[in-house]
């Protein structure tokens, strides 16, 4: 998929679920297919699959989001020896990533903006270009609040998108690459009829009504700034373990550290980029033993601000996509973003009411 060459070439088709094996065979001809598979009683992960039977179509969220394919947890950026310094450009594996839900597609869109802006990150962009992304519809569970974040419907980031409409899939092609694949799959596809469009519309209306978790996101910036000194932050900070579990699972967390690894004889080595977390005690520590965010409270407030409105000024986007991964992964239960935001909004509304009565 070419991030820079996306254009609206959207067309709609249907695929009988009985023909999905043939559809999968066409995908596998493009490259290695990755999809959600069940890895424990409650967990799913994107893994390489060789058969449609391995795919967990009912997966709500994977442990790690699809950002791991383009921005891996650890990667070598450069190597060096006595003769020079070399940019590391490993051989690319073309990836077909199947079953990316709307919230994760929104997350990829944010990561694309970050890594393509200014001096584009060549390592991310090379991986992103060598991919074909298939979005897939889903139904929310009690942790999903993507509707509140405006990321409940897929707008971009995919080549084709599949919506489950009973015995068929409603398929939309968005990019030139998606259009080319649709042309190859024509023998097993049919053009979408008015009835198919009605079924597709019915699914998304039903899904929209199925959300049980969320909040009003129109006043997040005012709420966060007005409640910066709320005692709730102290309560959350007392429970925070600074374990950083919330950041690797987030579709849009992109902080990293650079690690230099030298050989024992010191005449060669490498520089690696590894995921880091703003929740780690030493993340904001600088020379002179000074820490810009020394306490869990400082770090939590920073993370919440960045997720809920800190990205607005630069990109007009929020970096929380409402996937619920941080809520599920937090061992202390302090990353229930919906509960925290609602509590802050109640406090903010109370202050406003008191001011009006004064």
Tokens of 335: 């990353």
41: in domain: yes
198 and 237: one domain? no
Determine the structural domain holding residue 53 and report its residue range. Answer: 11-69+85-209
Over range 48-73, report the average pLDDT: 97
* Predicted pLDDT at 3: 47
Residues whose CB is less than 8 angstroms from the CB of residue 157 and which lie 6 or more positions away in sequence, other chains included: 100, 105, 106, 108, 109, 112, 133, 135
Over range 74-95, report the average pLDDT: 94
What is the percent of the chain with per-residue pLDDT over 90, rounded to a whole number? Answer: 84
Helix, coil or strand: residue 74: strand
d(C-alpha 179, C-alpha 158), whole Å: 12
Over range 74-84, report the average pLDDT: 95
Candidate from 93-107, 123-137, 191-205, 296-310 with smallest mean pLDDT: 296-310
Over range 50-54, report the average pLDDT: 97
155 and 36: one domain? yes
Confidence of residue 7 (pLDDT cuts 50, 70, 90): very low
Q: CB–CB of 275/284 below 8 Å?
A: no
24 and 168: one domain? yes
Over range 205-218, report the average pLDDT: 95
311 and 336: one domain? yes
Q: CB–CB of 49/212 below 8 Å?
A: no
321 and 300: one domain? yes
* Predicted pLDDT at 154: 92
Candidate from 8-12, 149-153, 255-259, 315-319 with smallest mean pLDDT: 8-12
336: in domain: yes
311 and 337: one domain? yes
The count of structural domains within the chain is 2
* Predicted pLDDT at 335: 87
Helix, coil or strand: residue 131: strand
């Amino acid at each position: 998929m070419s991030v820079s060459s996306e254009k609206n070439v959207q067309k709609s088709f249907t695929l009988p679920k009985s023909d999905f094996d043939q559809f999968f065979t066409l995908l596998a001809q493009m490259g290695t297919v990755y999809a959600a598979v069940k890895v424990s009683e409650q967990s799913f992960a994107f893994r390489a699959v060789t058969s449609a039977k391995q795919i967990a179509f009912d997966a709500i969220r994977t442990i790690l989001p699809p950002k791991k394919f383009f921005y891996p947890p650890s990667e070598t950026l450069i190597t060096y020896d006595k003769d020079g310094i070399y940019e590391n450009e490993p051989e690319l594996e073309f990836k077909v990533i199947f079953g990316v839900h709307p919230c994760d597609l929104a997350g990829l869109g944010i990561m694309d903006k970050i890594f393509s802006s200014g001096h584009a990150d060549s390592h991310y962009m090379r991986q992103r270009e060598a991919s074909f992304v298939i979005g897939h519809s889903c139904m929310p569970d009690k942790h999903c609040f993507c509707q509140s974040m405006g990321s409940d419907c897929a707008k971009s980031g995919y080549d084709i998108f599949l919506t489950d409409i009973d015995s068929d899939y409603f398929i939309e092609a968005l990019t030139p690459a998606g259009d080319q694949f649709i042309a190859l799959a024509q023998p097993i596809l049919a053009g979408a009829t008015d009835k198919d469009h009605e079924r597709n519309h019915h699914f998304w209306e039903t899904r929209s009504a199925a959300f049980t978790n969320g909040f009003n996101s129109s006043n997040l910036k005012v709420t966060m700034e007005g409640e910066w000194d709320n005692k709730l932050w102290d309560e959350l900070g007392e429970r925070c373990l600074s374990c950083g579990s919330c950041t690797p699972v987030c579709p849009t967390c992109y902080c990293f550290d650079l690690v230099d690894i030298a050989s024992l004889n010191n005449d060669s080595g490498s520089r690696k980029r590894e995921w880091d977390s703003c929740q780690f005690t030493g993340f904001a520590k600088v020379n002179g033993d000074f820490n810009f965010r020394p306490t869990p409270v400082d770090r939590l407030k920073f993370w919440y601000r960045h997720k809920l409105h800190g990205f607005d000024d630069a990109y007009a986007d929020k970096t929380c996509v409402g996937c619920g991964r941080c809520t599920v992964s937090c061992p202390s239960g302090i990353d229930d973003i919906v509960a925290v935001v609602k509590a802050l909004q109640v406090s903010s509304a109370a202050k406003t009411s008191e001011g009006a009565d004064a």
